[in-house]
Structure 1
Amino acid sequence: MKIHILSIYHYVEHLAETKTFLLDTLGFEQVHSTQTTTSVENGSIRVCLAQADETNAATQIFLEQPTKHIERDVLQYQKTEGFEQVQALHHVSQERAEAHFHTPYGITLILTRNFNEDELGIIPELNMNLCWSPQAESFMRSSLRLVPVVFRDVARTRCTEKAELMSVEHGDVEVDMDTAVRAFIREAPFFMHGVLREELEKTGLDMSPYEDEFERRRVT
């Protein structure tokens, strides 16, 4: 059973054209349709379209449209008949850019582009609860960049927590380099181990003391 974050009703003057825009341009899928109503969804939101009349006036809604090519899409909509750009492309934060358009379908379209840490050229801080040696912290932050960005937030949390847990279990008040390396190997995605070993060796790190960690992951 699908769980929808939001379901909204939208009364429109041009039902067929609005449905076509949602399906063909924004990538929604049709759930059901009659002469006077249509329901479409995109996996997180369901829009129930209905024909506006004397009882139910046309409504206005806001829809976000994530895109990896926001500059291109802005130019496309600027040239689309009936579309009016009401907010220029701008950064609302370091990680997010937006541009807003009024459409002929009672929809204010918000184009969004979210930038990841690689695109921004930043190395996020670790969420540390213990003291870390400068070497251990630098190793963990830089080594996490070897993990694909889609897995990185989870890996960052798990590796940091594992290093601190191991330090506590050893009775240490500070995470040292050895513990950081072992925690990284234990918690980094297993399918990345071959690549991670090669990349860590390129940094000059002697991996021989950590063969037991790679073997532990291989066996388990």
Structure 2
Amino acid sequence: MPLTHTRLAAAALTAAGVLFFLYPALRPWADESTADGALHALSSPWWVATHLFAMIGFILVPLALLPINRIAAVIMWIGAGLTLPYYGAENFALNTIALKVSEGRQLDLLGLTESIRYHPAAAATFLIGLILLGAGALTAAVAIWRSGVLPRYSAVLFGIGFALFIPQFFVGEAGRIAHGVLMAAGCGWLAVSLWRTRTVPLGRPTTA
């Protein structure tokens, strides 16, 4: 794989890291267990934008892993595929419902929100998808550790960030923003390592 591909992978990782940071940093925060809090958060245009940031990040990361480890890339592609439908439902469906409520429509915002978020099939695929994303990131981290091409520790934060994606949903605003910082740092560190290398991580010499 040409050196230009690893540079593109580094750029994709950098973009993903920024998006994963902006996702919690700019997300509208409120007590979504109350009708007023849920209406404030879910009806905001920033609700749609920030969840799109995360969705784009999930698409970029598997692309960036192709020059590093194809097995990890495939695992994360499957994980992203299972995760994105839930993000889409929470993003667009909840925003649409909240906007209808803000217009005075008689809708049970909290009941509908809970029904969408905790639909058995949606919740199950979301959970499996995030588990696979974590497994793919850890697979990439192990492959890098063993390869000797990139710095051994260059994917440690990357792997930890994805492994903590499920637990971070159960902490407050500060914890989730801190996780966004971790994701940005993990993606950024790996991106810098990729950019600096002149040997493709899969072990083939570059043509550039």
Fold in common (TM above 0.5)? no
- TM-score, normalised by the number of residues in structure 1: 0.25
- TM-score, normalised by the number of residues in structure 2: 0.26
| Larger Rg belongs to | 1
